[in-house]
Structure 1
C-alpha cells in the first residue's frame, strides 16, 4: 500500500532535491557521488512508500542507466533533472539532460550477448520499462520510463 510522506529538502553544492507527494525531483551536476545520492534517495523514497525491494532495485538500475546514458552523451558534470514518482500501479523515472541532438536509440543487441562489453544499458531499460520514450524539450531531452508494479 503506497502512502504519502514528507521528506526534507536536500541541498548541497551541485545537488538539490525537491520532495513530491510520493517521489522527488533531483537537480544535479552529474558525478559519481551524486549518482550514489540519487540511488539512496530512490531506495529510501520507495521503501517508505511501501514498494518491495525487488522493484526498488529495478528503479535504481533504470535511473542509473538513464543517468549514465546522459553522461555518455553530454560529458561529466552535465546538469540533470532526475524525477522518481511512485503511484499505486508503478513508478515513473525521468531523466532530463540538455542535449537534444544526441537521442538514444533502441539496440537490437541481445542482453545475453557475451561478446559485447557495453551497450546493454538501454536493453536493460527496455526489459524493465518497455515502451520508454525520449521527448525533445525546449531545454534538451527527457527520457521517460514507466515500471509497473507486480501484483504481490
Structure 2
C-alpha cells in the first residue's frame, strides 16, 4: 500500500507505490531537485545499476522541464518512478492537454541549437515513450531498459 516516504513539504508530497515511488509536487527548483534525488534513492534501494539511475534522473529532469515550459512555473506535477521486469518506468503527469510533446525537433548533434535537445535525449534513453491523455491532463510514460 501507499507508504509515507518523506515528510511533506509545501508543494511536495511523496507516497510509496508498488516497486517505486510517487511524488506530487508543485514545480520549483527545490522540489525538482528533491524529485531527482528521490529517483536516485528509490532506484538504488531497488538494486538498479548506476547507469540506469542516471538515465532515469535525466529523463525525470527533461520531462519536468518540458512540463514547466508548457504550463508555467509552479505547475502541479505527479512524478512516478518504479521498477518493472524489463526496466524502469518514469511517468510525469501535468495538467496541459493542448501543448503535447513531439518527437520532431532539433538533432542532439546540432551545434547551433540552444534548446530542443531534451526530447531527442528522451528518445535515445527511452525509445517508444508515449503520451496518454488523462481526466486531468496528460501523462508522459517512458520505459528505460536496465543497463543504461
| Offset of residue 108 of structure 1 | 4.3
Aligned match of 1:67 = 64
- In 2, the alpha carbon distance for the partners of 1:89 and 1:19 equals 20
Deviation digits for residues 20-44 of structure 1, max 9, x if unmatched? 2321110000011001100111100
Runs (4+) off by over 6 Å: none
| Offset of residue 137 of structure 1 | 1.1
SS of the residue corresponding to residue 126 of structure 1 reads helix
Aligned match of 1:138 = 135
Aligned length: 146
SS of the residue corresponding to residue 8 of structure 2 reads strand
TM, length-normalised to structure 1:
0.91
- In 2, the alpha carbon distance for the partners of 1:12 and 1:138 equals 26
- In 2, the alpha carbon distance for the partners of 1:10 and 1:148 equals 31
Within 5 Å, give how 1:27-46 maps onto structure 2: 27-46=24-43
TM, length-normalised to structure 2:
0.93
Of 82, 87, 90, which residue of structure 1 is paired with 2:84?
A: 87
Aligned match of 1:107 = 104
Give ranges in structure 2 of 5+ residues lacking alignment.
none
CA spacing shift, 1:23–1:10, aligned 2, 3 Å: farther
Pair 1:78 & 2:68 matched: no
